């Protein structure tokens, strides 16, 4: 008869607990997760989109950003419920696969997500070029902006090739710099324009209404969503986050709330410093333009420095995460690879596509294309949750239903106004969607009879 040694068993248990604690210490904390999430969210969106939103929403810009937060808040419920129940590094791609199976629908919307992230990178690149040229008065040069955007994306790709550890470790530092910098600009702008500008939020008579009324306001909200959609990257942290079943939801809600507060402060400051026509005229660099009346040339320089940090750090982090996403999609058979087994092919493909888009599309086209693809994918997420996963992850069906209705409430007016003012962008979006669905269909046709991709 074998006997056990209580001390030995206790020692083994103690050692096992120590190893578990060590592994847990190496994982992301809630603070680290929020820092990474806000680092992705606070980027080109707030720097490049304020003027574009003003063009649609008029003086209701702050309310448009607040409405965007409400839409995203409802949307986040589906992502939180699935990611908390199934924490992994797969995030949205795994959610789509679970909802629709490993076939054309899931693959197509996964590619929609991937392309919308590439568009966000090209938006970062062009915003970098626009703000860097602002002190020299060359911000309206499409050629120079395009060249600087390409150089910024290429530089970020090189950093990813040689310094992945630096990419991960620098995320918290750059996120803090961006948050502090934007907060300083916002608070300083409010003080310069007078705290009464906060009161103007609730005084309709002092606001310039949108030219297209509520249709324009809702269309403007569509673009505001781009400034928040980075929260979806938090769902990819499941495998690396402490207590993900609890902290994923907390991280997403804290990140959205923090960004909402910052965006409201900065948009109130901008609308307090500039008239709506002035904001629209400087739509690609409105924050720098608004800093000049309040702080003079020093304010412009500070805004440019913050924008450069935000865009470059965002590019480096985005290329890092989106390349990993492409690797996963390729392994799942949902994305094509290069003809030969090239090292770092996911990074090369991602950076190459971002460079092409940054070189040939302007900020308005990039933002519009990205918003439409993202919202189409978001609607597919909620529908998949309602139809196929609501019992598995115990959701309250009314929340994703409301999320779908809100998505449609902002997307349809945006499509209507774009059809009137910029039909070319809608045509490009439709062609892009058809290409992505066709690519996915071809990849599915090449699958083996067992449902796995055929590899040479």
Q: Is 236 exposed, middle or buried (0-12, 13-18, 19+ CB in 10 A)?
A: buried
Compare 15 and 426 and report the one with higher pLDDT.
426
- Using only the alpha carbons of the chain, give its radius of gyration: 23
**Residue 318: pLDDT over 50:** yes
The predicted pLDDT at position 72 comes to 96
Contact 319, 233 (CB under 8 A): no
Average pLDDT on 248-255 reads 90
Q: Which of 20, 18, 36 has the alpha carbon at shortest distance from 28?
A: 36
Residue in this structure with the two tokens 């606070």, named with its chain if needed = 42
**Residue 45: pLDDT over 60:** yes
**Residue 321: pLDDT over 80:** no
What is the per-residue pLDDT across 95-107, written as a single tens digit (0 to 9) for each?
888 889 888 898 8
What is the per-residue pLDDT across 336-383, written as a single tens digit (0 to 9) for each?
776 666 677 888 899 999 999 999 998 889 999 999 999 999 999 999
Q: Is 402 exposed, middle or buried (0-12, 13-18, 19+ CB in 10 A)?
A: middle
**Residue 221: pLDDT over 90:** yes
Q: Distance between CA atoms of 126 and 340, rounded to whole angstroms?
A: 31
Strand partners, 447: 453
Contact 326, 48 (CB under 8 A): no
The predicted pLDDT at position 217 comes to 94
Model's pTM, two decimal places? 0.85
**Residue 35: pLDDT over 80:** no
pLDDT band at residue 38 using 50, 70 and 90 as cut-offs: confident
Average pLDDT on 249-268 reads 90
Taking CA atoms, 231 is separated from 212, 227, 243, 361, in Å, by 30, 9, 18, 25
Q: How high is the mean pLDDT of the chain?
A: 82
Average pLDDT on 254-266 reads 90
What is the per-residue pLDDT across 154-199, written as a single tens digit (0 to 9) for each?
998 988 887 655 655 666 677 778 778 888 888 877 777 665 556 5
Q: Distance between CA atoms of 230 and 59, rounded to whole angstroms?
A: 25
The predicted pLDDT at position 16 comes to 46
Taking CA atoms, 424 is separated from 20, 297, 418, 419, in Å, by 56, 38, 9, 8
The predicted pLDDT at position 163 comes to 61
Counting residues of the chain whose pLDDT is more than 90, the rounded percentage is 33
């Amino acid at each position: 008869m074998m006997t056990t040694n209580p001390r030995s068993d206790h020692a083994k248990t103690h050692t096992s607990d120590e190893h578990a604690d060590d592994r847990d210490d190496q994982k992301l904390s809630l603070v680290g997760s929020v820092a990474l999430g806000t680092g992705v969210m606070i980027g080109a969106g707030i720097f490049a989109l304020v003027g574009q939103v003003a063009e649609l929403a008029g003086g209701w810009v702050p309310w448009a950003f607040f409405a965007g937060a409400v839409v995203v808040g409802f949307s986040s419920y589906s992502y939180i419920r699935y990611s908390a129940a199934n924490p992994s590094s797969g995030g949205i791609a795994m959610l789509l696969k679970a909802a629709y199976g490993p076939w054309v629908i899931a693959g197509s919307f996964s590619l929609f997500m991937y392309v919308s992230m590439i568009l966000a990178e090209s938006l970062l690149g062009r915003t970098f070029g626009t703000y860097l040229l602002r002190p020299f008065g060359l911000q309206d040069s499409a050629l120079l902006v395009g060249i600087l955007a390409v150089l910024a994306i290429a530089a970020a790709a090189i950093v990813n090739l040689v310094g992945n550890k630096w990419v991960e470790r620098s995320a918290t530092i750059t996120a803090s710099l961006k948050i502090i910098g934007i907060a300083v600009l916002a608070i300083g702008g409010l003080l310069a324009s007078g705290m009464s500008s906060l009161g103007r939020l609730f005084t309709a008579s002092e606001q310039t209404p949108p030219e297209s009324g509520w249709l324009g306001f809702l269309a403007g909200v569509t673009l505001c969503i781009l400034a928040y959609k980075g929260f979806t990257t938090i769902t990819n942290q499941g495998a690396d986050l402490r207590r993900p079943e609890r902290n994923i939801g907390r991280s997403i809600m804290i990140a959205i709330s923090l960004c909402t507060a910052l965006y409201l402060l900065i948009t109130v400051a901008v609308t307090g410093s500039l008239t709506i026509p002035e904001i629209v005229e400087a739509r690609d660099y409105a924050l720098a333009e608004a800093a000049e009346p309040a702080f003079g040339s020093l304010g412009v320089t500070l805004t440019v420095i913050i924008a450069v940090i935000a865009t470059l750090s965002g590019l480096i982090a985005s290329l890092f995460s989106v390349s990993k996403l492409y690797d996963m999609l390729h392994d799942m058979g949902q994305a094509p690879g290069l003809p030969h087994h090239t090292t770092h092919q996911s990074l090369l493909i991602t950076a190459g596509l971002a460079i092409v888009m940054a070189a040939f599309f302007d900020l308005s086209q990039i933002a519009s294309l990205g918003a439409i693809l993202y919202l189409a994918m978001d609607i597919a997420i909620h529908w998949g949750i309602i139809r196929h996963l609501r019992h598995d992850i115990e959701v309250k069906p009314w929340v994703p239903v409301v999320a779908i209705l809100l998505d449609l409430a902002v997307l349809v007016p945006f499509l209507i106004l774009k059809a009137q003012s910029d039909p070319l962008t809608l045509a490009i979006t439709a062609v892009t969607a058809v290409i992505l669905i066709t690519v996915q269909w071809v990849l599915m046709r090449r699958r083996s009879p067992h449902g796995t991709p055929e590899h040479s």
